A and B are shown apart, each in its own frame.
Chain A
């Protein structure tokens, strides 16, 4: 079976996100003053073959926790669908 995983990796909320902070400043320069917080992460899509949804899920979990996210400072969420 073929699956598509859509993964979001975000900096943990207690970790400083300098990039988000600088982008907020940029948005204020543009006149969009009502933005109070910006945090920036990564969006990853991954196509994979697996025997079952459970199998696919397990692989995505491994990919996220071992490689795609640095668990010391990032969290991840994902959705998985057949595709």
Chain B
């Protein structure tokens, strides 16, 4: 141990975010007082980010298994789902909210980098990305700066990395003014037998660090606390981490090549908490220890302290444990790709990590006690129902007047040009969606992204992965238990409407401060709602990410936003179904039950200005039956287009189906419903389909038979004009202009 250093006190521990009782626990684990390096190791490993200490007890209640799961939540860097033919799909979502709030371009870019590394460290080649973004009021200059920066950051990184972005969501609400949410999703394909694991074992096996050099990135907290025990650092700390997609692309190719050799024992990406996180997690899992010489770590800055090297979050790095004797084979591959590859230590007996610097042992910590599922603490936080919850339930439909006559057109225009509903073309055209020659929705718009599995060794392979990210956070705020169920249901519905079988979920739980009981209540209820719905759809949660503290002192917490990323499988290409109306004269049908409900709709919230209302009408069993019915219609090839009713209600769904081919529709509203509820309400479990007239009889037979699914003929596809009850509400051309260009105009 460093003899000159004075040992840290409970005060230093507090500055590192360690509670007094945790400090005592650390002393017991070590049987002595930790030095500063060791304490900072515990501080990051026991942080919320690495240990999930405030969330794990609830996350464990989520369904985690199905007969398709190859790796369950927390076992590997990402979830792994069997898709047949010896192939598996690895996928995950992760947040980069706080870095993006500080510097949107680099924050979002490094988020994309991190999530892709999680996928390819498993040996999977990423095939597609999605992202889920939330920003504040789009009229604010600050929001525009954030939107432009985040979108460019995602684009520049993902485009150069060369993986298509095939879908996503963008939502605006003033609750995100200071705290935007940036959630990035990636999915990859790996041969089931070639999955690389995040594990370390085998005494004498060499440990390598590969990729970028290590700088003083992301160590702000520990650095501040270190001033207690050492002189103040003179060198400035980088406030922002810079992503290098070029480096990441090389790292991808090199990583897949070394895994292909079969000589890799284990490999893990370095994300949060850098070297200490990957050495401890891999060692704990493999029940071995490591000796690491920090002098051998390539650094970007000079005179880095031991704990700085250990905690650094510099991007585009990996830790690799290789079979002894195969060092040269591995080095050759990294040389080929002009990448750093340095042996920094080896695997040893026992479960301890021994870190040396300048010939001295500077930290000696047991790996098991650092990690989640090992010694890291787990807490149940206090929670309390917030006052607003009951208030929102008091909403009275009759307090809002219905729309009539020309007001329908006014609402239509308001919604089609609203940034939450209008086309996100301005955003997604900045992302490469066609690289990889795999995107099957470029020329067939649909409710979910669809990517074929393309492999030169399996020419003309037929299966595709469908994927979506969904969460209407306004619903979750109104009712976390119902809202989270809706998020899962909508994701599954989007996949089913595209012709896919939903397989599994990854979640990104974005909430405020978990120590605020009302926030924790939102968290607990959302997790329970999510669990209930995932069980119903047989879509286990394979992992994901929890992001707390999304709040500011001025605005309070963001809406509780449990983003659901879901993947599905399309076995037969002919089942892939698009959302666009194809031919004039086709019948337009609504499948599912209409409701006299406008709660939490965009119409009620932004047109009527009523912010307090419950979640929209939703019944999980009814939703499930609807999805079974839609699946039947697609299997029997009875529908030409399928598009679910979501934000903006039925009218927006019809518009979105009509716009791709520049056609129109002529529909009638149904008796017994308020016009606003029928056209703009967001009650769940409804889908709009178009049917060729010659298939009408069979269509009705299927829905009316055993399924007994409620459905109604609304009208038909026309050559142009959006007509409701005999009145043209808006022309196709005007709707197209509003829908396609409103967001771009707002951002310019």
Do A and B touch, yes or no (CB under 8 Å, in the complex)?
Answer: yes
Residues of A within 8 A of B (CB): 11-12, 14-18, 21-22, 25, 70, 72-73
A18 near B238 (CB under 8 angstroms)? Answer: no
Given A72-B102, A73-B106, is A16 in contact with B239 using a C-beta cutoff of 8 Å?
Answer: no
Q: Does B215 sit at the interface, judged by CB under 8 A?
A: yes
> Do residues B215 and A14 form an inter-chain contact, with CB atoms below 8 A?
yes
List residues of chain B with CB within 8 A of the CB of A17: 242
25 contacts between A and B (CB under 8 A): A11-B242, A12-B238, A14-B216, A14-B235, A14-B237, A14-B300, A15-B240, A15-B242, A16-B212, A16-B217, A16-B238, A16-B244, A16-B300, A16-B314, A16-B315, A18-B242, A18-B243, A18-B244, A18-B246, A21-B247, A25-B338, A70-B103, A72-B103, A72-B240, A73-B106
Closest 9 CB pairs of A and B: A18-B244, A16-B242, A14-B238, A73-B240, A72-B239, A15-B238, A72-B240, A72-B103, A15-B242
B443 within 8 Å of A by Cβ? no
Residues in A whose Cβ lies below 8 Å from that of B242? 11, 15-18, 73
Residues of B within 8 A of A25 (CB): 338
- Residues of A near B300 (CB, < 8 A) are 14, 16
Q: Is B336 an interface residue (CB 8 A)?
A: no
Given the complex of chains A and B, what is the CA–CA distance between A58 and B236 in angstroms? Answer: 25
Chain A positions within 8 Å of B246 at CB level: 18, 22
Identify the closest chain A residue to B149 (Cβ): A70
Is B236 in contact with A14, judged by CB distance below 8 angstroms? Answer: yes
Which residues of the other chain, B, contact A21 by a CB distance below 8 angstroms?
244, 247
* Residue B401 at the chain A interface, CB threshold 8 Å: no
Residues of A within 8 Å of B398, CB to CB, are none
Q: Is B748 positioned at the interface, with any CB of A under 8 Å from its CB?
A: no
Contacts of B241 in A (CB 8 A): 16
B399 sits at the interface (CB 8 A): no
B301 touches A (CB below 8 Å): yes
Q: B57: shortest Cβ distance to chain A, in Å?
A: 37
Interface core residue of A11, A12, A15, A21 (most chain B CB under 10 Å) = A15
Apart from A14-B237, A17-B242, A70-B103, what 9 extra A-B contacts exist at CB < 8 Å?
A: A12-B236, A12-B238, A14-B216, A14-B236, A14-B301, A16-B300, A72-B240, A73-B106, A73-B240
Report if A73-B338 is in contact (Cβ < 8 Å); known contacts: A14-B215, A16-B300, A21-B244: no
Point out the residues of chain B lying under 8 angstroms from A16, CB to CB. Answer: 212, 215, 217, 238, 241-242, 244, 300, 314-315
CB distance from A18 to the nearest CB of B (A): 4
Q: Which residues on B sit within 8 Å (CB–CB) of A12? A: 236, 238
A residues within 8 A CB of B102? Answer: 72
Give A22 to B238 CA distance when docked, in angstroms. Answer: 20
1/0 per residue, CB under 8 A from A, across B235-262: the answer is 1111111111011000000000000000
Which partner residue on chain B sits nearest A21 by CB separation? B244
- How far, in Å, is A46 (CB) from chain B's closest CB? 22
Question: Cα distance A18–B246 when bound, in Å?
Answer: 8
| Contact indicator per residue, chain B 370-387, by CB within 8 Å of chain A (1) or not (0) | 000000000000000000
Name B207-250 residues within 8 Å CB distance of A.
Answer: 212, 215-217, 235-244, 246-247
Cα–Cα distance between A72 and B104 once the two chains are bound (Å) = 12
CA of A14 to CA of B239, assembled, Å: 10
Q: What's the Cα separation between A58 and B662 when bound, in Å? A: 55
* Closest A residue by C-beta to B314: A16
In the assembled complex, which residues on chain A have CB atoms less than 8 Å from the CB atom of B244?
Answer: 16, 18, 21
Please, which residues of chain B bring their CB within 8 A of the CB of A14? Answer: 215-216, 235-238, 300-301
Contact status of A73 and B103, CB under 8 A, knowing A15-B238, A18-B244: yes
Write the B481-512 contact mask toward A (1 if CB under 8 angstroms, else 0). 00000000000000000000000000000000
Cβ of A72: which chain B residues have Cβ within 8 Å of it? 102-103, 239-240
> What is the distance, in angstroms, from A45's C-beta to the closest C-beta of chain B?
25
State which residues 89-105 of B face A: CB under 8 Å. 102-103
A18 contacts across to B, CB distance below 8 A = 242-244, 246-247
Bound Cα distance A16, B242 (Å): 6
Report B-chain residues with C-beta under 8 Å of the C-beta of A73: 103, 106, 238-240, 242
- How far, in angstroms, from A11 to B242 measured CA to CA in the complex? 10
- Which residue on chain A has the smallest CB distance to residue B300? A16
What A residues does B236 contact at CB under 8 A? 12, 14
Determine the distance from Cα of A8 to Cα of B695 in the docked complex, in whole angstroms: 69
What is the bound-complex CA distance between A16 and B243, given in angstroms? 8
- Please indicate the chain A residues that have their CB under 8 angstroms from the CB of B314 in the complex: 16
Minimum CB distance partner of B106 in chain A: A73
Q: Which residue of B lies closest to A73 (CB)?
A: B240
CA distance A21 to B248 in the complex (A): 13
Instruction: Report A-chain residues with C-beta under 8 Å of the C-beta of B315.
Output: 16
B103 to A, closest residue via Cβ? A72
CA distance A60 to B240 in the complex (A): 25
CB distance from A70 to the nearest CB of B (A): 7
A70 vs B103: C-alpha distance when bound (angstroms): 9
Interface centre among A11, A18, A22, A72 (most CB of B within 10 A): A18
Q: Complex: how many Å from CA A25 to CA B247?
A: 12
In the assembled complex, which residues on chain B have CB atoms less than 8 Å from the CB atom of A15? Answer: 238, 240, 242
The CA of A72 and the CA of B102, in the complex, are separated in Å by 9
Q: Which of B237, B242, B301 has the largest count of A CB atoms less than 10 A from its CB?
A: B242
Chain A residue nearest to B217 (CB atoms) is: A16
